[in-house]
Amino acid sequence: MNLSGFAFIIWLAGLIHANRILSHYRSMAFQRIAVIDNQPTPTIDSQLEKGLILDKVLEKTEPAIEILKSALQMPGGDPLLLYLSGVRMAKKKLYREAAAFYDRALASTEDAFLARRIRWDYGSVERHLKEEPV
């Protein structure tokens, strides 16, 4: 076997391993969503978690955005989940929603490091909002 054949076998083994791991994470994501869906009354944190899982792990962007937007209408929320939701909205170029999530996260966090991260990302969102037509 030459070097390129050996490299292909190593690459293929890595691909198979990566797909097994991804399949495991997707399965865990579906299980967590089932637990969230079986809650008698959804909380903001459970809805934020569900939206983030749908978008980031399962790549179901449209339902994730709708869930995150509806969660924004609920009171409270964990600062980290609010921040991460803002990050997802900013990546989707939904800057107004991202700013709303960042505002809520900043108002509710006592973690100085998280507050710095929020302010940093908020600056980028504000620049985009200034460029948007009103």
pLDDT score recorded for residue 21: 80
Does the pLDDT of residue 91 top 90, yes or no?
yes
Q: pLDDT tens digits for 105-123?
A: 999 999 999 999 999 999 9
User: What is the dihedral angle through the alpha carbons of 24, 36, 50, 70, rounded to the nearest 10 degrees?
Assistant: 170
pTM score: 0.82
Domain 39-131 listed as CATH 1.10.287: no
32-88: per-residue pLDDT in tens? 999 999 999 999 999 999 999 999 989 999 999 999 999 999 999 999 999 999 999
Q: Among candidates 60, 123, 112, 133, which has minimal Cα distance to 86?
A: 123
Q: How far apart are CA 67 and CA 90, in angstroms?
A: 15
Please state, as a whole number, how many other Cβ atoms lie within 10 Å of the Cβ of residue 15. Answer: 10
More confident residue, 15 or 116: 116
How far is it, in rounded angstroms, from Cα 48 to Cα 11?
36
